[in-house]
Amino acid sequence: MKIISNPPQDTWSKLTQRPAQKFKKIEKIVKPILKKVKKKGDSALRYFSLEYDGVELEKLVESQAEIASASAKVEDPMKQANTLAYNNIWKFHEAQQTDDLEVETMPGVSCLRRSVPIDRVGLYIPGGTAPLFSTVLMTGIPAKIAGCKEIIMCTPCNRRGEIHPAMLYTAQLVGIDKIFKVGGAQAIAAMAYGTESIPKVYKIFGPGNQYVTVAKQLVSKSKVAIDMPAGPSEVAVLADDSADPSFIAADLLSQAEHGVDSQVVLVSTSERIINETVEAIKFQLKELPRQEIAREALNNSLAFIVPDILTGYELLNEYAAEHLIIATENPEQAIEHITNAGSVFLGHYTPESAGDYASGTNHTLPTNGFAKAYSGISLDSYMKKITYQSISPDGLRALGPQVEVMAEAEQLEAHKSAVSLRHAKISEDSMISST
């Protein structure tokens, strides 16, 4: 971890750039995959499953029997933890529901906005280096609450053609029964274009490796939406002298173990805290099964010494972290100062991993600085906002002349005529009714 002391503000943007991603190189690999799946459908998916995952699949869809049998393979403590997480995530996302908005903007002119669920959504659940069953909860629960009619789930299988039982059990808990044994960029292509087995969806959700990320960005240029542009996982920690270096080290490693392209950042007013955290990282790293992955990610990571907490807030707003932990004496102060972050964790006893699994907030969040403009997944992500308007004859009498003036100024005569013809009809009807 590279330590930088009191960097000038005009250097922050450069210093907080993420490690360069070789998108052009990845695109050259991903584009032919997308093209082949679009053209050849299921046969292309089987080809890529054999090529990349080493598995020869007869059926791409997971059978209902396999889904049902998964429950017996999951131990009770895991089931209990999943149920608690399910309840918390459901409770927080259900509370995000809003009533229809209806406003009379002027007499006789009424405007309405309704939230309508996206009919068919696709969930990509990573399962390569680890089975991320928590992502089934995070992407599936809000889809269920929103009322999406059809939920498609794609996730990689092992070399025996099996999906991890925890994935299937969690999907069953959420109520997802259309599950396909397909991973990687080919799964994104299948959901974007549709194949003989996998329906085309209207929006794709879920994180993934760099190939999945690039595939999502490429298909979003056609007729499918995506949740957000995302990249490797990341966490930033803001700490003062009240912080516990062992806690910070564990939080940083919890993201570093995600993948070699992950990044962690520590910002502190205390040089002592940074030095002790570095030592704690070395000690804890030895105990991690994924220590080689974490060690390589730490090569991309940074620690900043800043003169005060306010400077720390400013530096972290420039970084715009996916996850931001505030390990300070007065963590609630950050609510007023942090404007760019995917999800914020306040206080010494609020680890990022709680949000990853079970506190209730969503863990599918913008990375790579996109938190400056994007939000994480919420109930709204699965909704469309449709507006309606209703105008009475009296309302059109009052509003219409202004619309005519504006349409004429833009030289759009058909727009003006659509109002003028109605005005004439209203006047005609008024004359008839008065005689």
- Which residues are tagged catalytic? 322-323
- Determine the Cα–Cα distance for residues 221 and 376; give it in Å rounded to an integer: 21
Task: Give me the residues paired with residue 265 across strands.
Answer: 236, 302
Handedness of CA 293, 353, 342, 141 (dihedral sign): positive
- Determine the Cα–Cα distance for residues 153 and 123; give it in Å rounded to an integer: 5
Are 136 and 123 contacting, i.e. CB atoms less than 8 angstroms apart?
Answer: yes
User: What are the two backbone dihedrals, phi and then psi, of residue 175, each rounded to the nearest 5 degrees?
Assistant: 105, 30
Handedness of CA 367, 370, 372, 375 (dihedral sign): negative
- Determine the Cα–Cα distance for residues 425 and 383; give it in Å rounded to an integer: 38
Handedness of CA 364, 207, 183, 32 (dihedral sign): positive
At CA 161, angle to CA 157 and CA 163, rounded to 5? 40
- Determine the Cα–Cα distance for residues 145 and 91; give it in Å rounded to an integer: 10
- Determine the Cα–Cα distance for residues 435 and 282; give it in Å rounded to an integer: 94
